[in-house]
Chain A
Amino acid sequence: MSHKIIVPIGPYHPLQEEPEFFQLYVEGEKVVDIDIIIGYNHRGIEKLSESKHYDQVAFLVERICGICSSSHPYAYCLAVEDLLGGEANIVPERALYIRTMINELERIHSHLLWFGLAGHFIGYNTVWMWAWKYREPVLDMFEMITGNRNSYAMFKIGGVRRDIKDEDIPILNKMLDELTPALDLFRGAVMDDPVIKARLKGIGILTKEQAIDWCVVGPTARASGINIDVRRDEPYGVFDRIDWKVILEEDGDIFAKTVVRILELYESVNIIRQCLDKIPKGAIDADIKDIPAGEGIGRVEAPRGECFHYIKSDGTNRPVRHKIRAPSYMNVASDKLTAVGGTISDATITLAAVDPCYCCTERVAVINKGDNNKLMNGWDLIKLSQEKTLKLKEQYYGRLK
């Protein structure tokens, strides 16, 4: 007997981040089409920004994303400073070091967050708990430096708002020391586990040509062999004075995206260490008073990729136009390529591979194109995904009790 049910998925709670809605069309096990519907959380921040003065906008854009809550204000400050003559010419040296550290700490906590969720989606709940356990000290480090565990309110045009205390530097170094063994653990867990390899290799492939055409950025692009990273290409902060490298993979599958993120964690720890080592004494704020007429562009390598802000000023104390482009705007669109052709049990991890936020995969409807039309929600999909891993584990290790 065939029956068709249409179920509204939701409610789309505006407090959650990035509520995208994916509608998967499947034939049997195979995903044949996908609709990506966004806009549930459109808060009109670009318009709102036109009604705030320049100092307030930094706080406003901080609230675009709870995870990237320093990348947006940083890119905004860079845009205004571009208008004024460039970050390097305005911002005091000490503030540049603090900005760089905040930028990298954010990458660590964001990548760990993603890593935990990815583990959960494929049935590795221990990885999930561990990754989030080791993410906590990173938030503690944020608290020591900025006073906040999230939404740090650190960035202002011309500098930062809060100085780093000298007596905190050894403590921060020690916390970084303690983080490194955890990273080794995660690297081992991913690289050496045949089940994770079987689960992620060759799945959700985004080829280099596709990545170029869809203009994707960040780890999503770097996993497909596109050698871009704003930190190196157009250095801001002190990235041009620090010894670090861009992580590049060629395969474009989910495994490559995971490897890129894990190896980037090491680079971030390395960058923060060097910053703590080299940070000079001095002022942290240039005390900018007026913003002249003109336009400016700022961009920052956020954990998910290039975050872009454009500012147009007419010489008053409010921007005339403020265009914001977050990295996921380009990356999520590429799900159309990676998810179609795969199986439903791989869909959860494929959609999560570009690192959108949790709720993105919570709101999934599957419409079976065959006779028995049914609708599945996000949890059903995660269960499917975890069951597949369990089957693979049985193949590799024999029956698990």
Chain B
Amino acid sequence: MDMRDKIKEALGDKVKGWQEHSAKRIYITLDKEDIYKSAELLFRKLGLRFIIASATDMPEYFEILYHFSNDPAGEIYSLRVLLRDKAHPEVDAITPIFPGAEWIEREIWEMLGISFKGHPNLKKLLLADDWPEGEYPLRNKK
């Protein structure tokens, strides 16, 4: 069974959208409530490697992509989560599953103002200590 089927089986009805951009680039849309469980399944059960997460400020929502690499096949599975509450964007932290996500969640938090619930150490990573509260450099100005 190849990784595609394993992931489909493991995530089951959590998958809300499955888009194959190419043979090696698969984007999977999830509800934001399912990200913790899904990341845990991919990382712990299926043994994928976490590359990084990328967040984008879109006009209607915030989008977070969690990129996982299936190294033996050279594939990247990107879990897509949309945060539609633009005033209070919040999602479960995946750092409790594996510490490799700590820095990027801190970075997204300070750069885009997305809060990560359950993050053990949510403090500034790159910005200066006296950076003004509520200013998020990677948010688009109206």
A-side residues, CB < 8 A to B, are 38-39, 42, 44, 46-47, 82, 85-86, 212-216, 227-228, 230, 233-235, 294-297, 299, 306, 308, 310, 312, 320-321, 323, 325, 329-330, 333
Chosen A-B contacts, 7 in total, with CB atoms closer than 8 Å, are A213-B99, A214-B98, A227-B71, A233-B74, A299-B51, A308-B52, A330-B100
Smallest distance from the beta carbon of A112 to chain B beta carbons, Å?
27
The distance in angstroms between the C-alpha atoms of A39 and B27, with both chains bound, is: 30
- B27 to chain A: which residues have CB within 8 Å? 295
Residue ID in chain A nearest B50 by CB atoms: A215
Q: In the complex, A116 Cα to B75 Cα: how many Å?
A: 36
Closest to A236 in B: B74
For B98, what are the chain A residues with a Cβ–Cβ distance below 8 Å? 212-215
| B89: min CB distance to chain A, Å | 16
- Of the stretches B7-15, B33-41, B120-128, the one at the interface is B120-128
Could you say which of B54, B56, B75, B98 has the most chain A C-beta atoms within 10 Å of its C-beta? B54
Q: Is the CB of A295 within 8 A of B21?
A: yes
Residues from chain A with a CB closer than 8 A to the CB of B119 are none
- B83 on the A face (CB < 8 A): no
B residues in contact with A215, CB < 8 Å = 49-51, 98, 100-101
Chain A residues with Cβ below 8 Å from B67 are: 297, 308, 310
| A228 nearest in chain B by CB position | B71
The interface residues of chain A lying within 8 Å CB-to-CB of B6 are none
Q: Across the interface, do B54 and A39 meet the contact criterion of CB distance under 8 Å?
A: no
Measured CB to CB, the closest approach of chain B to A236, in angstroms, equals 10
Whether B128 lies near A39 (C-beta < 8 A) is yes
* Contact across chains for B49 and A333 when beta carbons are under 8 A apart: no
Q: Which of B110-133 contact A (CB under 8 A)?
A: 124-128
- The proximity string for B residues 45-76 relative to A, scoring 1 for CB distances below 8 Å and 0 otherwise, is 00001111010100000000101010111111
Q: With contacts A82-B22, A215-B50 known, is A46 near B126, CB below 8 A?
A: no
A297 contacts B78, CB within 8 Å? Answer: yes
B56 touches which of A82, A227, A234, A312 (Cβ 8 Å): A312
Is residue B138 contacting chain A, with contact meaning CB distance below 8 A?
Answer: yes
Cβ of B4 under 8 Å from chain A: no
Complex: chain B residue closest to A321, CB-CB: B56
- A329 with B103, Cβ < 8 A, contacts A39-B125, A310-B65, A323-B52 known: yes
Additional A-B contact list (7), CB under 8 Å, known A308-B51, A329-B52: A39-B127, A213-B99, A228-B71, A310-B54, A321-B54, A325-B51, A333-B100
